[in-house]
Amino acid sequence: MAKYQIIGATGCPTGIAHTYMAQEALEQAAKNKEVTIKIETHGQVGIENQLTPQEIKDADVVIIAADKDVQKDRFAGKRVINVSVGRGIKEADQLIEDALAGKASVLKGNKKEEETMEKETTEKESKQKNSIGRDIYNNLMNGVSHMLPFVVAGGILMAISFAVWGVYSADPDSSQYNSTAAMIKGIGDMSMGLMVPVLSAYIAEGIAQRPGLAVGFVGGLIADDGGTGFLGGILSGFLAGYFILALKKLLEKMPKSLDGLKAIFLYPVIGVSVVGVIMWLLSGPMESINRAMMDFLVNFEGSNPLILGIIIGCMSAFDMGGPLNKAAYVTGTFLLAQGNTTFMAGVSAACIAPPLITGFAALFFGKYFDKNDRNAGFVNFILGSTHITEGAIPFAAKDPLRNIPIFMLGSSIAAVLTYMFNVQVPAPHGGFLVLPVVTGKAAWVFSILLGSVIAGLLFGLKQKRMAMKKNTNESEAA
């Protein structure tokens, strides 16, 4: 069994935590089975532990646990298990067992043909792999993951400018004006201004590979210039990607010797022309829709912070890095670009809370947790403080029906109080590291800690009750 060779690739939209948690889980599961494995990671720093062509050739099976593009075409002809990064974390042992049992499908080009050993597994994997919704989500998250560094860098630079020299330090007509502050804010504005084009470009790249990149970028620039915001960027990305796929199909009968001409001339010229014209015509209607949505969120935020806080708290803590969490976070980043720094304050608070909840539970009720969970809870104080919600995932996975509602409660309390105190956070990431640039620092920290402590106590009491029930059952059995 030790000679059975498994390779894999992991990747999550942000490339911060899920990617490496899935890698660690799969490596540990393979080690328990005495199986050789090598996992390539597609994180925010790029591709690490990269698989070589020889390693791919020698592999018996490939496990892909990713919610973004990990260059799956390399594995054509290999037996592949393709799941979300969340399953890679939660079901690592089962995935290794499935790989050893031959419950995988053969990847042929861009299409997967099921060749599983058991009918039940075939149906389950087929539904997941052929899901249009999952493909759309993966491509969207490919855009988001490439966009985030621009957002974080731009947001932090703008926040530094405000914090050090004043909110109006970049305004030439203000008494606070400072040329250095204006320069730093200008750099931050440029970085933030690339959000929509980069989002659009890498959605298209996820769909159509490199030929879609230029078309998506230009479509995103038109969307941004037309005031359509991130909705226009998402539309232009998908439009560019699928148009290039259709164009490839249309031109596939051209002589092989003209492939270079297609890549450097036909795809970009035709693609930019068609997608550019469509986005130009759609800019007016899309701008109206985008403006209405932004106004709705802003008005809703100002009129009823209680309901908004509950919505944001539940979205952020329900799947911790998944679609709902990312929907709240991406909305916050784009509103941040519109000058709304209050909305992101609640999103950040809701994302920081879940790991802290596990930390306080381990602190208050440590004897009811095993050693590994107790240590993980203490580590989550660091992860939570730096806005890495994913640290709470292992706890949620062990008892989701009980633990996730507790996380949602704590995040909702933190978000509601943040909105009620009118806290402003001008940076989209960083957790407590960006505290110097937060308006309403004490109120923000208090909101997060109160929500985390209350939910942490509930989490600890639940753990205590479960431990006592377990001891009682063991005593009765004895």
> What are the residue numbers of the active site?
12
Structure tokens at 478: 């004895």
The residue with tokens 């042929």 is 108
CA distances from 195 to 149, 202, 225, 296 (A): 9, 11, 12, 22
CA distances from 116 to 90, 96, 311 (A): 22, 15, 41
10 Å Cβ neighbour count for 385? 18
Angstrom distance (rounded) from CA 167 to CA 477: 67
Angstrom distance (rounded) from CA 46 to CA 44: 5
Name the residue among 419, 373, 396, 430 with its Cα closest to residue 320: 396
The DSSP code for 391 is G
Angstrom distance (rounded) from CA 313 to CA 420: 14
| DSSP E strand stretches across 73-144 | 79-83, 105-108, 111-113
Angstrom distance (rounded) from CA 301 to CA 149: 27
State whether residue 421 is helix, strand or coil: coil
Angstrom distance (rounded) from CA 429 to CA 281: 35
CA torsion, ordered 318, 324, 326, 330, to nearest 10 deg: -130
| Cα Rg, the chain, nearest whole Å | 24
Strands across the sheet containing 5-11: 46-48, 36-43, 5-11, 61-66, 79-83, 105-108, 111-113
Name the residue among 122, 10, 140, 21 with its Cα closest to residue 70: 10
**Environment class of residue 276 by beta-carbon count within 10 Å: exposed (0-12), middle (13-18) or buried (19+)?**
middle
State whether residue 210 is helix, strand or coil: coil
The DSSP code for 439 is B
CA torsion, ordered 111, 116, 120, 122, to nearest 10 deg: 0
Angstrom distance (rounded) from CA 117 to CA 137: 29
